[in-house]
Amino acid sequence: MAQGLKVAVVGATGMVGAEMLRVLEQRAFPVAELVPVASARSAGKTVTFNGAEHTVVEIAPEVFEGVDLALFSAGGGTSREWAPIAASKGALVVDNSSAFRSDPEVPLIVPEVNPEAAADRPKGIIANPNCSTIQMVVALKPLHDEARLKRVVVATYQAISGSGATAVAAFEAQEQAIARGGEVDKDKLSGQLSRNLLMHWKPDPETGYQEEELKMVSETRKIFGDPAIAVSPTAVRVPVVTAHSEAITVETHAPITAERARELLSQAEGIEVVDDLSQGIYPQPIDAAGQDPVYVGRIREDVGNPGGIQMWVVSDNLRKGAALNAVQIAETVLLK
C-alpha cells in the first residue's frame, strides 16, 4: 500500500482541504492520483498539487472508486452521508468533522498519543479530533505516561480560522471598518471580534457549557482510554487569524516537578519546548502559524496545587489541529 495511492480530498477548496493538499505535498505522501472533491458549487474549479492543476469534481459515489485514502473536511453532514460510502468502496477514511468522534466503532486518533487504536476500525473510518483537543493531548501525553492524568483545567484562546474562510473574511472586514472609523458588521461573527473576545459556539442548555468545550472533555477521555480523567474547559475566540493557544493546568495521580515536566516534554514526539519567560521567550501564535509542532512554554509548578503543573500550549489549528494530524493518521495506517 505504500506506493502509488489514489487519494481523494473531500472539501478540497476549503481552508482545511487546501491545507491537506499542502501537507500531502510537503510530506511527499505517495499520491499517484489525486481526486479533489467538493460540492456542486465548487465543481469545475481547479486546485494545484505538485505543480499540476487538478479539476475539482462533485461528490458522488463513483468518485470513490479505487480510492485508497479519502480525507474528509467538508462538514459533519457531508461526512455522515458520504464517509460510509467511501469506506464501503475500500478507502481508508480520515474524517476531520465531529460526525464520528463519539462513535465507539470509530477510533479517535492523534498519532503521537494513541496510534495503536487506529488498527481497530470496523467501519473503515478514523476520526480526527477537534483542533483544540489535538494540541492539548499532545502536550499532556508525556505527563500522562509519567504519572497518569487526574484533572485538566484548560482555557483556550482560539483563532478565527477555526471557523473557516468566511469567518476570517468577516473578521478582516471588522478590522478594516474600525480602521476607517466605520460601522462594524457584527452579524457574521455573532458579535465584534476585532479588539474583543467572543464565546459564540453552540451552548449546551443542560450544563451551561459550549459544545466546543464539551468536545474537549469527551475526546480527551476517549483518546487516553480513561473515562475518569476530569476535564474543565473554557473556550474563547480571540482576534488572531491562525494558531490556537491554551492555558493548561494539570493534576496527576503522582506529583511532577516543573523540571521533570520540562524534561519529559523536551523528549516527546511532536513537541517543541519554547520556555524562557525571563527573556521574554514563550510560544506565540504568530510564530506557530504555518508550523507543524505543538509549542509548549511557561512550564511551572502550580502554586495553587503543589505537585501539579501549569503550561502554555500553542499550535497551528489548520495544520496540527486538522490537516497535518489527518495526514499523519494516514501515514500511520498506510505507510508503516
Active site residues: 131, 244
Through-space distance between the first and last CA atoms of the chain, rounded to whole angstroms? 9
Give the largest CA-CA distance in the chain. 59
> What angle separates helix 258-267 from helix 131-147, to the nearest 10 degrees?
120
- Beta strand pairing status for 244-252 and 309-315? antiparallel
d(CA 93, CA 124): 6
- What DSSP line would sit under 209-260, residue for residue? -BHHHHHHHHHHHHHHT-TT-EEEEEEEE-S-SS-EEEEEEEEESS---HHH
